[in-house]
Amino acid sequence: MARAKTAKPYHHGELREALVSAGRKLMEERGLRGFTLRECARRAAVSHAAPAHHFASIDDLLAEIATRGYHELTAAMSAEARRSGNDAAARLVGQGVGYMAFAAANPVLFQLMFSREANRFETPELAEAAKSAYHLHREAVEAVIPQASGEVKERMVDFAWASVHGFITLVLEGQLGEKDSSRALKARGLAALSAMVEAVVRAGGEP
């Protein structure tokens, strides 16, 4: 039977994209515990079983969303570093700003990306995406202390990442003065980044 011209077609057409998009909005609205496959389906206006044809399980959808998150994180870090000129230290601070800005704009997605559960549904694509963000960071740190030994470099890569990640994580969890205006919070973030860079430079100084 011919369908009315305004009726929705039997085939969605871009259901995979619609599910990813709906899923991202849903998780930011209701948190990870409020994320359900059926609500994603509802928001994409398809039946509860439709997602199965695009994602084998709820973890598969989460893995896809997390993978895209890493791509965006990498892009945000890269863009902010570019805006920061050629000085290695300034670029490292810039990457940190990009990192924090992405996390602040996508708090639940960020939590998903770095959650323990994420290790359970880790796909090759997810691992690859995460690795590229890591390498970007690693290079930025090493550029600040090119003369340092390999071991010192490695430890400063750890330390720098830990400082940035720890700070924004605590902020997002509301542990660090949630009452602060975003402006004041930004200043505190920059202070943490400055302390981090200074420590890296100092540790990497002539052996």
- DSSP 3-state of 156: helix
Binds 199, which of DNA, a copy of itself, none (CB < 5 to 8 A, cut-off by type)? Answer: a copy of itself
Write 26-31 long-range contacts (CB < 8 A, 24+): 27/65, 27/108, 27/109, 27/112, 28/106, 28/107, 28/108, 28/109, 31/108
Q: What phi and psi, each to the nearest 5 degrees, are found at residue 137?
A: -65, -45
> Between 8 and 120, whose beta carbon lies closer to a copy of itself?
120
> Between 59 and 125, whose beta carbon lies closer to DNA?
59
Assess 33 for contact with DNA (CB under 7 A).
no
Binds 170, which of a copy of itself, DNA, none (CB < 5 to 8 A, cut-off by type)? Answer: a copy of itself
Assess 15 for contact with DNA (CB under 7 A).
yes
Q: State the Cα–Cα distance between residues 35 and 111, nearest whole angstrom.
A: 13
> Between 50 and 89, whose beta carbon lies closer to a copy of itself?
89
Assess 25 for contact with a copy of itself (CB under 8 A).
no
Assess 205 for contact with a copy of itself (CB under 8 A).
no
Binds 12, which of DNA, a copy of itself, none (CB < 5 to 8 A, cut-off by type)? Answer: DNA
The answer to whether 95 and 80 have CB atoms below 8 angstroms apart is: yes
- 177-196 binders of DNA (CB under 7 A): none
Q: Please provide the DSSP assignment of 78-105 as one string.
A: HHHHHTT-S-HHHHHHHHHHHHHHHHHH
Distances (CA, A) of 88 to 92, 187, 201: 6, 21, 10
Binds 49, which of a copy of itself, DNA, none (CB < 5 to 8 A, cut-off by type)? Answer: DNA
Residues of this chain that bind DNA (CB under 7 A):
3, 9-13, 15, 35-39, 46-50, 52-54, 56-59
